[in-house]
Chains A and B, each alone.
Chain A
Amino acid sequence: MTARILALVLLGGLAALDATPVAQTMLFQPLVTASLVGLLFGQWLLAVKVGLVLQVFAACTMPVGSRTPEDYATGGVIGAGTAVLLATALPFSLAHEASAFAGVAAGLVSATLGVPLVKWQRRRNEGLSRWCEDAVRAGDLGAPGKAAAAGIAMAFGIAVVFCALFLGAGILLLTPLVRSHSIALAHAWTIAQPLWLGIGLAHLLSAFVQRRFMRAALFGVGLVVGWILLLVVA
């Protein structure tokens, strides 16, 4: 179990790297990280249930302009990780749904709390970039490479520590809550899951359609044809 938890926090670090400093390949998207967390702990279905909700919100959160978006890289890992760790500790069916609710809540809160941390990191990078320019002017042509390595190491380290602390605190606080109030949390999941999916998908729909009739019609076609095919094929 210790090795798996270590792998979980390291995944948080890798996701944070993929989000901004390195490559931006979308490895950090909650559906991807949740699938990996699920495979790691043998709880794929639960992890993906949490990952789906976090994914719709991550997909409509844009890293554009001066706004620092919510940090769904660590949020996705923390959300799915919290859910699977709780469900592993409390293996009864109501706790499964309660863990899913607690996981999504932990993911959303950590994604929001991650914003000041990302801003702090970016401010630290200002000093790094000033040092880099001075070093280059002094003839150190390797300075940009060293600065990039330092920026990557800092982003990885901060994300790993954040994931470890948040997961630790989350499990400590949520385990007794899920154990004693699993029915209430399972009810909350039944209510919140469709609402969350609806809100997130509506934001995506709005981004795609942009008040164009043809695109709205295509959404309708996908809905009707998908509905019919699912009913007929299944």
Chain B
Amino acid sequence: MPLPNRTLTAMGLRASLLQATWNYERQQGIGWAWALQPALERLYPDPARRAERLAAHTAYFNTQPTVASVTLGAAAALEEQLATGGAADADAIARVKSVLGASLAAVGDRLFWFTLRPFAACVGIALVLLGAGWGAAALWLTYNAVHQPVRLLGVRWGYVAGPAIVAGPLRGRLETLTGALARAGALVLGVVMAALMVPGGQPSPAGFQMLLAGGLALGLFTAPRSRPSPTEWALMVGSAALVIGWRR
């Protein structure tokens, strides 16, 4: 009997705590086992067998946390095969889990960390600079408009498609969304720069504009380098400004 929607929803909700015990040894392993537990409870009535499968899932696992839902669904489909004597075996499940996690992490990192998060931040910043008091709410809503559906519905997508999901249309759709958000992000960032240079329709002081341009040039020069990090640059610039401010 296929897993009911209630079980898949419970897995999606539990996926929110995937990183509750994140650590260097198993990374998301324990959170993964806890998220998969509703499926294991339905598939394995024997507590000893269930404990064995749950223990196997506490092993190392890591992926981008939002798209982990898709991998959870695919793993539940394989566990169902194993429980009903189908083609899957325990080793194959561990391998597929690892491959799916790595493969979806590549797409998920690009979409959620490198693109959607900066895009949502730019939307929030632009609105605040344009005088809207709800910029922070817009940031939160923009991110969650994509994050929550993928987290909650991703389990079903993965369960229905199984491990083949990684080669299916989902990957292409997520990549298309990433490209569209990056283009929209560049556009919004242009508006942010304009709002900084002519706030409320009045040009900023020349000194502000020159320093902004200087910061932009320094940032573009340092962006391709991983060290010093942007925060370290910010600390250095802040220290230099403090010294100059003190001397004036």
Contact = CB atoms under 8 A, between A and B. Distances in A.
A35 interface: yes
B20 interface: yes
B17 A152 contact: yes
B224 A206 contact: yes
A219 B189 contact: yes
Interface in A29-50: 29, 31-32, 34-36, 44, 48
Contact of A132 (B19, B21, B148): B21
Contact of B215 (A105, A149, A197): A197
Interface in A202-227: 202-210, 214-216, 218-227
Interface stretch (A82-90, A133-141, A165-173): A133-141
B172 interface: no
B201 A204 contact: no
Nearest to B184: A218
B208 A194 contact: yes
A31 B128 contact: yes
A16 B165 CA distance: 33
A201 B223 CA distance: 10
Interface residues of B, number: 100
Given A26-B144, A141-B37, A144-B37, A136 B51 contact: yes
A216 to B, nearest CB: 7
A129 B21 contact: yes
B237 A199 contact: yes
B117 A59 contact: yes
Interface stretch (B70-78, B88-96, B118-126, B153-161): B118-126
A43 B131 CA distance: 16
B197 to A, nearest CB: 7
Given A32-B140, A129-B29, A196-B238, A61 B229 contact: yes
Nearest to A199: B219
A48 to B, nearest CB: 6
Nearest to B116: A26
Interface residues of A, number: 105
A126 B215 contact: no
Interface stretch (B2-10, B79-87, B240-248): B240-248
Given A216-B186, A226-B195, A141 B244 contact: no
Contacts of B183: 208, 214-215, 218
B149 interface: no
A62 B20 contact: no
B44 to A, nearest CB: 10
Contact of A199 (B25, B199, B201, B234): B234
Contacts of A31: 121, 124-125, 128, 135-136, 139
A21 B19 contact: yes
B147 A222 contact: no
A43 to B, nearest CB: 14
B234 A198 contact: no
B1 interface: no
Nearest to B220: A202
A126 B193 contact: no
Contact of A141 (B50, B113, B118): B50
B16 to A, nearest CB: 4
B231 A226 contact: no
Given A48-B135, A221-B187, 4 more contacts: A35-B135, A60-B230, A151-B30, A187-B248
Interface of A: 20-27, 29, 31-32, 34-36, 44, 48, 51-52, 55-64, 70, 101, 104-105, 108-109, 111-112, 122-126, 128-130, 132-133, 136-137, 139, 141, 144-145, 147-152, 155, 181, 184-210, 214-216, 218-227, 229-231, 233-234
29 contacts: A29-B140, A31-B125, A31-B136, A44-B133, A56-B121, A101-B242, A104-B238, A111-B231, A122-B22, A128-B21, A129-B23, A133-B30, A141-B54, A149-B20, A155-B20, A185-B242, A194-B196, A198-B215, A198-B217, A198-B218, A199-B237, A202-B219, A214-B183, A215-B183, A215-B186, A222-B187, A230-B199, A230-B200, A234-B198
Closest 3 CB pairs between A and B? A198-B215, A234-B201, A222-B190
